[in-house]
Structure 1
Amino acid sequence: MASTSRTNHDARDLLWTPSDSLKDANRRRIIRAVMLDPSSTQVNIARITGLSQATVSTVVSELQEEKIFRVDSGGGERGKRIRLGAVRGLAVGIEVNHTGLTVAARRVDTPRVESDTVDFSADQGGRIWVSESVRLIKELARKTGLDEDHIVSIGLGVPAAVDPRTALVTQVASSLEWNLGGDPRERFHEHFPGVPIIIDNEANLAAYGEYAFGVGKGDAGKNVETMLFVKASTGIGSGLIIGGLIYRGRHGLAGELGHLTMDPTGTVCRCGNRGCLETLVGGARLVEQVRQAYSGYRIDLPTGLESMIEKAKGGDQVCGRVLHDAGRNIGLALARVCNLLNPEIIVLGGELGRASELLIEPAEQSLRLYALRGMLDHPDPTRIMGSQLGLLAGAQGALGFALKADVTVGV
């Protein structure tokens, strides 16, 4: 546990103090960039903020004199590592799914993340997800040595479409009978008054997490330009990052990969259409295929996606074949997306991401069959990769995305 005895600056004061001054706005943006990456360089700060190297250099020098920043020696002027000095604050991220939620909390002056998960049944989630989120936030805050009074931002990822202009929920999954309508942020205001709460679709925030902290970070801390993140679990969702920005579409419905039509005469999907990708590779469907294959022959059948993946890794031929076929279908869907978007990398995450070593090869085979050859027969081809953050991508992405948002007062 990090000591707070030498803390002189409150992160809330640094980030929330209202000001119309361009200089103050630039200071906040640079402070947020260093909080996002507690060991950044001047070059990376300029890239993240969009500010000139000269502006970054000037502000960094001022903040160093005020003991808000510490600048390590070596690495040249632009390559020096810039860290927070004596600053106290806490960033939080929440990812809500159909059957559980994960909360991540991190002191703004350290990269260490504290996290915890709560599982619940789909029918009870609508009643308890807010109270369970609040409980975990307070518990994790204490683990960092701080408390809820030090929270500077909360990112909230929900299983729904969120209008990027109003931050209001525009569509909830048809199978999810939760009251997520309107503005879910309001349910947290009484618990964390004044704290900015940034809301988005949970797959979008998982994509941002993998982009900012996972495989999307690329070599030498330089993030990839375009990244498609596939969240494959009970349902199939995705998030698209272009130039560091989440692409949401006009109504917040971009990235619904699971509802890409694969067979117009196929099985009816929970969305009301037929033959969606989710009807072929959704978690429940994969487990069902295994159980049908073994019906009457075995009693130790998988009860969920996790146990099915473990059996496949252990050599179970039926589980392995079902996952292989799932990889082929995912690859076909990805080929259609790639022919439209041509992303630099595709990241496979969610619960199925645990089986990425079993899925990537068949997915790549389909990609080669159906995608335009120019993006694959290239010295730097489009690649499919497994998630680096795993099931923490959503909560960490929510944490980072909210921390980066330049909000000066509670909303």
Structure 2
Amino acid sequence: MSRAGESPVNARSLLWTPSDSVRDVNRRRIIRAVMAGPGTQVSIARQTRLSQATVSGIISDLQKEGIVRADSAEGERGKRIRLGPVRGVAIGVEVNHNGLTVAARRLDNSNVQYESIEFAADQGGSLWVRESVRLIKDLVAEIGLDENYILSIGLGVPAAVDPRTARVTQVAASLSWDLSGEPGARFRDHFPHVPVIVDNEANLAAWGEATYGAGRDHETVLFVKASTGVGSGLVIGGLIYRGRHGLAGEIGHLTMDPLGTVCRCGSRGCLETFVGGARLIDQVRQAYAGYRVDLPGSLESMIERAKNGDVVCRRILQDAARNIGLALARVCNLVNPEIVVIGGELGRAPDMIVQPMMEATRQYALHGMFEGTVQPMTIVGSELGLHAGSRGALEFAILADMTVQDAS
């Protein structure tokens, strides 16, 4: 809220400026960093990769203009800088094969609100844009603003996205609805001129966990999303690693058995054919074949049954964890992350899957990751849960000019 006599500034006016002078570009970077969350001048300099002298000078100007405020603390650089009377709202959207989640946050506070909707896998093509727009409008109204205050929209989609063009380079063959082209362009008729920052949904979930969840304060974070399919995102030094074509992180398509079941990608024996949601449910049905038992119809219900003592569901989840652990060992031998965060539906059962996953990873990965004086690599459950993707999309879009970089 603004103080008496202060007129709130529309966040768009601070960032949507035509000037490309070095000082104005740096000014916008610093404003975006403060919009993402309060921080000291030292942390802002680290986040923006600007010198502390540059940050100090611009922060001083922004304070005089009333755009930012400094909390009392010892020493100028120790003060926490937060946003002043600036109005705006940031949006994050995560689209999955069978539903979507929208997150919204006023820039002048830290409260994030979420809305979700589920749909059948064959309905998404006709629903995802319309329902995203509806939920965005509902949330913006709920937090007391209107569409004219939307600063940016982060959009995570279940597809590989070229980091240079924001165009989809590959969509899962099993996805019956169209995500090709430039998904962000589908919002232009509804929110003209609002920038839409598009990325793979696992990448944005990785960003969310690395920034606000279980991976914060770690240099290298590998996030694994295990639900209907299996994907992952890698954050190194505050940047998402995407690869030349946006295809980095496709852990679900690591070959586990060259002669195995044909995967939806066209290959054989991919990790997804062992641990994808549909495969796990099929294993439960096979185990109970011929018995009159109410069978789980979703991965969520299967996990609930396992938590309630169903030994079949529990064993299948633990076997899946061991297979993921084997795949993780291969990935860890290449990138050597500090921490692996397990999210998606399986991330809701860390007490059942983390230990067998860690055991398999330790068995097949290089021992140096777990021995010696350096903190060992670890595997943990997600802190943001099923909101990791939308939360990451929201915050990533605020920082877009700092975080969208050449990823090859």
Give the aligned residue type for 2:386: L
Map of 1:398 onto structure 2? 393
The offset of 1:179, in angstroms, is: 1.6
Q: Output the CA distance in 2 between the equivalents of 1:158 and 1:15.
A: 26
- Kindly provide the CA deviation profile for residues 40-83 of structure 1, in whole angstroms up to 9, marking residues without a partner as x: 12121111100111111111111111111110011432221111
Map of 2:184 onto structure 1? 185
The offset of 1:85, in angstroms, is: 0.6
2:64 pairs with 1:65? yes
Q: Output the CA distance in 2 between the equivalents of 1:212 and 1:141.
A: 24
The offset of 1:8, in angstroms, is: 2.1
Q: Output the CA distance in 2 between the equivalents of 1:285 and 1:346.
A: 23
Map of 2:226 onto structure 1? 232
SS at match of 1:254: coil
Map of 2:99 onto structure 1? 100
- Kindly provide the CA deviation profile for residues 309-340 of structure 1, in whole angstroms up to 9, marking residues without a partner as x: 11111121111111110111010000000001
Question: What is the count of residue pairs matched by the alignment?
Answer: 400
SS at match of 1:406: helix
Q: Output the CA distance in 2 between the equivalents of 1:44 and 1:375.
A: 29
2:79 pairs with 1:89? no
**2:359 paired residue among 359, 362, 365:** 365
| Shift in CA distance, 371/53, structure 1 to aligned 2, threshold 3 Å | same
Per the normalisation by structure 2, the TM-score is: 0.96
Q: Output the CA distance in 2 between the equivalents of 1:332 and 1:77.
A: 49
Per the normalisation by structure 1, the TM-score is: 0.95
SS at match of 1:216: coil
Q: Output the CA distance in 2 between the equivalents of 1:306 and 1:7.
A: 48
**2:344 paired residue among 342, 350, 366:** 350
**1:374 paired residue among 368, 372, 390:** 368
Greater Cα shift, 10-19 or 376-385 = 376-385
Q: Residue 9 of structure 2 contacts residue 87 of structure 2 at CA under 8 Å; is this kept in 1? A: yes
Q: Output the CA distance in 2 between the equivalents of 1:185 and 1:286.
A: 33
Q: Residue 4 of structure 1 contacts residue 145 of structure 1 at CA under 8 Å; is this kept in 2? A: no
Give the aligned residue type for 2:395: G
2:240 pairs with 1:246? yes
Q: Which runs of 5+ in 1 are unaligned?
A: 218-222
**1:311 paired residue among 305, 309, 317:** 305
2:379 pairs with 1:384? yes
Map of 2:405 onto structure 1? none
Map of 1:41 onto structure 2? 40
Give the aligned residue type for 1:376: F
SS at match of 1:195: coil
Q: Residue 2 of structure 2 contacts residue 84 of structure 2 at CA under 8 Å; is this kept in 1? A: no
RMSD after superposition: 1.4
Map of 1:220 onto structure 2? none
Q: Residue 3 of structure 1 contacts residue 145 of structure 1 at CA under 8 Å; is this kept in 2? A: no
SS at match of 1:34: helix
| Shift in CA distance, 3/129, structure 1 to aligned 2, threshold 3 Å | farther
Q: Output the CA distance in 2 between the equivalents of 1:89 and 1:7.
A: 13
Q: Output the CA distance in 1 between the equivalents of 2:270 and 2:203.
A: 20
- Kindly provide the CA deviation profile for residues 212-247 of structure 1, in whole angstroms up to 9, marking residues without a partner as x: 111122xxxxx3111100000000000011111111
Give the aligned residue type for 2:142: K
Q: Output the CA distance in 2 between the equivalents of 1:164 and 1:371.
A: 30
Instruction: Give the fraction of aligned pairs with identical amino acids, expressed as a percent.
Output: 68
Give the aligned residue type for 2:314: G
SS at match of 1:301: coil
Runs of 4+ in 1 over 4 A off after TM superposition: 2-7
Map of 2:330 onto structure 1? 336
